[in-house]
Each structure stands twice: as C-alpha cells, then as structure tokens.
Amino acid sequence: MTFVTRQPSLWEGYEEIISSDQYFETEQEAQSYDNEVRLAIQHKLVMEHGSCTKDTIPAAPNSTNGEGVTTDPPSKHPIDQSTFYSRPPLPSFRPSHIQTSTPRTRSTPHVPTPSTIGSILPAPRPPSTSRIPARQIDTPQAIPSPIDTPGSSTSAMIGGVEGVRGYGSGEGEGKGKRDDPSTPMPLGTAIFNKLKSRQDFQALTKHFDKFTKDFSKVTSEGKGEKMGSKKKMKGKIASVLLTKEKVFEGLRFCFPYEVNGARKNKTRWEIIAQMGGQVTIQPDTAITHVIHDSGRSASILANSLGLRSLSELPQGTVCVKWDWVAQCKLANRLLDTEQFLSFPKNSLTRNPTILSKAPSRMTDISEQLRAGQMKGKSLSISRKREPTASDSETQSPIKRPKMLLLPWTNVSVTKSVIVNVKASRSNEVHEGASNTNISNPGSSTMGVVQEIYNTKNVDTEHDLPSGPGWEDVPVKERDGLDEMISGVKGGIGVVPEDAVPNSSNPQEINTNLNPNPSANGWKCGQVNDGNPHESPNEWLAKKLDEMHDLYLGQTDKNPFSVRGYRRGIADRIDEFLTGSKGREYYENTEKAKTVCMFKDIYGVGKSFANELYRRGARTIEDLREKEYGLSKGQKIGVELYSDLISRIPRTECKQLYDLIRSSALDLDPMVWVEIMGSYRRGGVDSGDVDILITRDNSDGKTHKGLIKSLVNDLRKKGVITHEMSTPSDWTALETKWMGVGRVPGGKYRRIDILCIPFDQWGAALIYFTGNEIFNRSLRLYARKKGYSLNQRGLYIGVMRGPDGNKITEGEIVASKTEEDIFKILGIRWRHPHQRRP
C-alpha cells in the first residue's frame, strides 16, 4: 500500500526537530560555521555591485522609499548572525522544556529514521582530508615548467611585430629612449637581477616561459584549424585569435613583478597575446604600456620594475590599469587610456608621484612635469597640484580632515557601512507565529492527508507591517519556539553584545534582528567613537556607498581583487573630502550611477551596463528609443523596468502564489507547490516570487511535463505574461522557468518556478529558501567538512578540478529533508526566518 502525500500543511512541529540535542552544533562547529557566514558576507559584499545601486540612483517612481535606502531601518548588526550561529552547546536544554510549552510535539515534521542515513554515511563527520583527494592540483605554482632555464626568457615576443604606433612622443610616464620592439634592450637590469634571485620570481619566470611556449604552440596549431576535441582551452584561444582583431598589435605590455604574479596574471598575459600584444615581465626599451592597477605608489612600481624611477621607461610609456585592457577587449578597439591611468593625471587625492625614495626624485618630477606639459595628458603624476610636499603618504596638510575621520575608517566602520548597505535590502520580518514549516516528503507516517493549508501562514500577514513604520508593529506573540530559544539563550547567558535592550520582542534578541532603527546603532558608533549620533556615520555611509560604486563599477573581472577595499575606502574618504569637486570624481560618479542604473535592468549585468554606457546610452529612455542590441530578455527588462525594480508586497506575493498554486493543483491535485525565497523567510516584501513544485512519486506518477501546461494555463489566465528563460527540457523532472507575471491588472512581477524531483525536496527547500548568504555559508561549511551541497542534495566525494569543474559526482548522502542535511552537517535546523544572516 502506498501513500501518496498531498502537500503537507506547513505548521508547527519544528519544535521537535530543533529540540533534539543533536541538532545543535558544538561550539566549534558553530564558530566554524559562523566564519563561513562572515566570509560569505564579506565576499558577497565585495562582489555585490548591486549593493550600491539602490542607494545611489534615484528611487523609482513607485519605489516605496523615496528618501533613499540608507534611511531604511538598518535592521541588523554585523555580528547578528554570529550570535545565533555561534551559540555554545546547550547542555541544560531538555526536550521537556518544549513539551511543557508546546504540548503538541507529537506529530509533525517527521524526522526520518536515521537508519538510512547511517547506512550510507557511517560517520556524520567524515575525515575530509583522507577521503577527499586534494583539489586544485593545477595551481600555477604546482605546474612543473617544461623549461628548466628560469630567467632565460623573461620576455616574450608574441603576435605580429609592427611599428609602434604613436608611442615615443611625449605621452606617459617614460622619458627614456625608445627602441624598436624587435630589438628591445632590457632596462634596470641591476635591480632586476636582484629580483631574479628570489624564489617566487623564479616561479614567475617559469610560468611565464610556460605561457609563452604554450601560446606559441597554440597559435601555430590554431592556424591549422579544427582543434581536437580534447584541448578546449587551446581551441578557444585559437578561435579567438582567428576571429578577433589584433587590437594590441605592435604594443608591448610589461607586467611588473608581483607576489604571486604568475597566477594572477596568467590569464592576462593570454588575453593580451590574443589581442596581438606582446607581453614581458621585464621592462625594456620597447614597452609601450605598463599594467599597473592602482594600489602601489609610483615609486614602488618603479621599484618592482627594477627601475629607480618611472622616468627611465621608454618615452611615452603609459601606466594603465588592467581595466583599460578589459575595456579594449570588450570594445574590440583601442580606447583612450585617460580614464584608466594607473595614476590619474588630475587626481587631487592620490599620491601617485614618483617619489621620495629615489635620489633623483626632484629631477624625475620636473622631467615629468615637462613631459606632461608637452602633451597635456597621460602623465601619471599629479602635476596639477604641488607635487613635492603634500603628496607624501606620511604627512600632508590636506589630509588633516582625514585624520579626524580616521577613527571611523577602521574595520568596524567599513563593516558597519557594509552592513548598512546590506540591511537596506533586507527587510524581512520576524513573525511571532511561525507556521511556515514545510514538512518532509516521504514521511508517510504522516499518513494523514492534511488540509492543503491551514490559514495560519496567511494570518501572519496581518502582523506584517506594510511600511517604513513597521518597527512600531508589535510582534503578536511568541510561540513555543521563541520561548524555547530565548529561554535557552538567556539560560546559557549568551546575550549578544548588540542585543537591543528596548526590544519588546524576545525573538528579536535571539536573532539579533532589530526592527527598530532608532535602537540600532552603527557598529562603529557603538564600538569606536562613543559618538551616539549616527548621522555622521550615516552620511559617511552614503558617501562610501557612492564610492563603492565607483570603485566596483569598472569591469574588473576578478571579484576577489578587492584589492585594498579597505584602503580604497580610506582613500576615497580622502578623495571626497579633498577633491570632491574634482572633475574626475564627478565624471566617475556620473558614470557609476548610470552604470548602476543599467545594471538594475533585468538581464543586464555589469559588463553590458558598462558597454551600454560606452555606447552612449545614459537613460532608460535611450534604451527604449534606440537600438543597442539588447537581447530578448533584456528588452523585457527595459520594457518593464519600473515595475520590476519595485518590490512586491507580501500580500501580492501571496496572491500570485495562490493563482499559481491553484492552477497547478487543477492540473494535478497531488503536486506540492510552495512559495519560497524571501517570502518563506518572512519578508515584508520580495523582489520576486519564487515557487517550488514537486510531487509525491510513491504512486509512480510524477509532475513531469506539468510546468508546460502550468505556464500555458497561467498565460491564458493573464497571470504569466513574459518568459525570460525556459527549461532546457520541459519534460524533465527538474525544470527552471523564469519569467514575468502579474495579478491581472497589477504590476508586472518577476516569477521563478522551480520543479524538482520529489526526493530532492529538502535540498531544494534549503536552496530556494536562502537567503543567498545563508546558502553560501552553508555550502562553504559543507565543503569544509568534505561535503558538497547544492540544490539537489548533500554529496560526499565530489572532486573538482582546478577550474572548479566537477570531476567526480560523488555520492549523495542526503536530500529528502532539510533536517537530514542539517543533521549530517552537524548544524541545527534553522527556521526559515532565521536564515538571513
């Protein structure tokens, strides 16, 4: 006899799960997990260009917060997640607690019998080191060089050799003699030789040699066309070579010595070579460009080039940021370097002077001054201001204001700023009545077919505040879980240092989510300065947000090149204090704003946003009127821009959900349909509607093909209006549909529908519930334990290659229920509302 379960009602029962001691991580685990959360957050923030967008561009007409997001409730502290993840063990905790407070623990979400788990996975914590072979076997450092004469070829001549165009005139840093690229003379050999002795430098040359060898091989092979299917990488390079113009033909790029430079720059070498440029790691008399992403002063740069000063470079040599190359590649033509100079000529704030340490400093400067006046551009030194004195890193009268602010510019400040940015997008709320637990599939002991939904989930909407004043809405009541958690917390004595004393809701304490902005000070305000006024910080935060834009707005590929995010912030504080009137600042901000706005278009990312700007687009209207080569989805994004940019009130999410669910149930009464994402986490509003669909397959039937009919039905009803991305296989068990729909007559809303095999319900719940940070944290945590977690399940034995490709599938150890997965990971199950670190 088989039980096919209808979608179980969400309701109480997670008390039981959470009550079991085994769901509580040890302190070590907690701390470890906490670390993952922090890492993920940091990483996310670095990468998240979008964090700036809402803050810097004017709110959309229908945006709920016209006054800018930074004034929104800063709902949490940087450490809030740590406090509920890093709770110490709970020795005093007894299930009896729950029993008394919540007597109805008997039934629900059936915790699956551990037997299955145990058989598959004997130890909850397998020794990852022994079971998982080393990954990343192919890091550059590990590649044995085929060439055993390090230093024999520190420069490579790749690509056609033409006359150097336009170089040798008064542009750029260099003042030295320029030679034909075919006969370059090494520069600065004395110091350079010193570098050569260093181990890592040898590694660099080694890999540079390998690179040159590989590449020349590729080019010759590539001419022959038809790559063997084996060498994809090389095939790609070759094909690019054949198709792309040689934008950099005749140019010669020098990559200054860097720590770990080989690994960092390998792909860059390849790119330049692909574009017809030459690459060298030793400056010589033929180089035309030095790739130098700002960060080090000119003197240090010179040093790493083995020069006493940059003026020794060939005349006209330009120090450019990598972004220039990236943009050239994107545009497939040479762009003006002016916006990409390593040492912007007009910067009032940087201190790019070729400085000090070199004895010939004065002459250097005057020389460069002259050179700069000749052409009036491309000079890296800040010659518009007093070059000698004020630009010293150590002392500068201009920087006095900065000193005042410096107490804020430490980690705490940046973090608090970051958190503010984050908090501004996170307006989920805790509901007192938490009935959003979704049961597990296959828990046939639940036998009873429960009524589709009890209304408690809906009831909570009444508690959901609708506007900015939501902090005034008292959370109605604490349920058993709240009581238990806060009790545990109090009993253990873990009171988060940022707990909000005046919070009326104990749950807030235990989650550290403080819905009351006035009670929620900035981290830096609390820790650093004892300055209770948050307005300066707020103001600073805004400014820094804008600058964060500017900083990340460029298409620098490597997301981890946070290079001096901190430093960057400090500098930019300085920048906007001292040089906010500067033309460059304005221009950059203007560009960043526009780019951010474009990036808000669905389907437009930072790459295309930059490209649009480059092509001259400045407003959304531009995109509507002229042709910019938008893709299908992007056109929808432009068309519905104002609707899609706004958030969806919870009630409307529910309406859409109900429409979708009823349509689905009409097609098959046994399907499970659940609304996920920020809604499940209790958000007051959502950016989109995330729907998860599956079906109990115990009777041999599945939801295969349902998505097609569902979409069709909904389209007929006028609920679904646009499709952006459709399943690769409509008949698969696992399908993802993304598009746009609306409550008929209402605004257009983004809708994601994910169908999944029944036995992946748990993993999919975790994935689709999020939030993003939570997922990444959990996945990182899993990875550190030797597992791999994805939307399908928790795996062990997954091996990945150097590029992150999966080499081994591994074996699945859990996927059916959330609890399975949390349990194996040794982490307690968390209520969706708690999954928003």
Ligand X SMILES: Cc1cn([C@H]2C[C@H](O)[C@@H](COP(=O)(O)OP(=O)(O)OP(=O)(O)O)O2)c(=O)[nH]c1=O
Partner DNA sequence: TCTCAAAATGAG
Partner DNA sequence: CTCATT
Partner DNA sequence: GAGA
* Secondary structure string (H, E, C) spanning 21-89: HHHCCCHHHHHHHHHHHHHHHHHHHHHCCHHHHHHHCCCCCCCCCCCCHHHCCCCECCCHHHHHHCCCC
| Subset of residues 121 to 180 that bind Mg ion, contact rule: CB under 5 A | none
Q: Is 608 in the site for DNA (CB under 7 A)?
A: yes
As given in the structure block, the two tokens for residue 392 are: 């010293």
Local structure of 739: helix, strand or coil: strand
Which residue in 349, 771, 777, 790 binds ligand X (CB under 6 A)? 771
Q: Which does residue 562 touch among DNA, ligand X, Mg ion, none (CB within 5 to 8 A, set by kind)?
A: DNA
Of 8-16, 78-86, 530-538, 675-683: span binding Mg ion (CB under 5 A): 675-683
Q: 215: helix, coil or strand? A: helix
Residues 262 and 207: beta-carbon distance below 8 Å: yes
The listed partner (Mg ion, ligand X, DNA, none) that binds 40, CB under 5 to 8 Å by sort, is DNA
691 sits near DNA (criterion: CB under 7 A): no
When asked if residue 427 is in the footprint of ligand X (CB under 6 A), the reply is no
Q: Does 683 bind ligand X (CB under 6 A)?
A: yes
The least distance separating ligand X from the CB of residue 791, rounded to whole angstroms, comes to 8
Distance of CA 334 to the CA centre of its chain: 30
Q: What are residue 731's phi and psi, to 5 degrees?
A: -100, 5
Examine residue 701 and tell whether it contacts DNA (CB under 7 A): no
Pick the closer one to DNA by CB: 238 or 798: 798
CA dihedral 676, 681, 685, 688 (to 10 degrees): -30
Of all residues in the shown chain, the one whose CB is closest to Mg ion is: 677
Query: If contact means CB under 5 to 8 A according to the sort of partner, which of DNA, Mg ion, ligand X, none does residue 831 touch?
Result: none
- Distance of closest approach, residue 678 Cβ to Mg ion, in angstroms: 5
| 549 scored as a contact of Mg ion (CB under 5 A) | no
* Length of the chain as a residue count: 837
Site size toward DNA (CB under 7 A) is 71
Tokens found for residue 404:
């005042």
605 binds ligand X (CB under 6 A): no
DSSP string of 778-800, one letter each residue: HHHHHHHTTEEE-SS-EEES-EE
Single out the residue of 812, 683, 827, 680 nearest to residue 754, CA to CA: 680
43 binds DNA (CB under 7 A): yes
Supply the minimum distance, in Å, between the C-beta of residue 65 and DNA. 20
| Residue closer to ligand X, measured from CB, 417 or 778 | 778
Residue nearest to ligand X (CB): 770
Residues in contact with 104: Cβ distance below 8 Å, sequence separation at least 6, in sequence order? 12
Positions in 752-781 near Mg ion (CB under 5 A): none
- Strands 252-254 and 289-291, by their bridges, are parallel
Of positions 553, 677, 741, 810, contacts Mg ion by CB under 5 A: 677
Q: Least distance in Å: CB of 689 to Mg ion?
A: 7
CA 405/CA 415 separation, integer angstroms: 15
Closest CA to 310 of 354, 365, 360: 354
309 or 678, CB closer to ligand X? 678
Site for Mg ion in 680-739 (CB under 5 A): 688, 690
Binding to DNA (CB under 7 A) within 298-317 occurs at none
The distance of closest approach from Cβ of residue 779 to DNA in the complex, given in angstroms and rounded to an integer, is 4
Part of the chain binding ligand X (CB under 6 A), chosen from 404-412, 677-685, 700-708, 709-717: 677-685
335 binds DNA (CB under 7 A): no
Place of tokens 């009171």: 495
Q: Count of alpha carbons within 13 Å of 622, Cβ hemisphere only?
A: 14
State in angstroms the smallest separation of the CB of 650 from Mg ion: 12
Residues between 195 and 214 with contacts to DNA, criterion CB under 7 A: 199-200, 203
Is 406 a residue that touches DNA (CB under 7 A)?
Answer: no
Residue from 595, 631, 635 nearest 612 by CA: 595
Binder among 207, 606, 816, 836 for DNA (CB under 7 A): 606
Q: Under DSSP, is residue 750 helix (H, G, I), strand (E, B) or coil?
A: strand
d(CA 102, CA 96): 9
Q: Under rule CB under 6 A, which residues in 685-744 are in contact with ligand X?
A: 686-688, 690
CB-CB contact of 508 with 463 (8 Å): no
Q: Does 652 bind Mg ion (CB under 5 A)?
A: no
Give the Cα separation of 362 and 347 in Å (integer).
20
CB nearer to ligand X: pick between 420 and 775: 775
Is residue 563 at the binding interface for DNA, with CB under 7 A as the rule? yes
Q: What's the CA gap between 779 and 571, in Å, rounded?
A: 34
Please, what is the minimum distance in Å from the beta carbon of residue 810 to DNA? 9
Between 102 and 678, name the residue whose CB sits nearer to DNA.
678
> Binding string, 221-240, against DNA, x = CB under 7 A?
-----------xx--x----
Residues from 122 through 181 that contact DNA (CB under 7 A): 135-136, 139, 141-142
Cβ of residue 756: shortest distance to ligand X, in angstroms?
Answer: 13
For 30-66, give one letter per residue: b (16+ CB within 10 A) or e.
Answer: bebbbbbbbebbebbbbebbebbbbbbbebbeebbbe
* Binding interface with ligand X (CB under 6 A): 677-678, 683, 686-688, 690, 767-772, 775
* Binding interface with Mg ion (CB under 5 A): 677, 688, 690
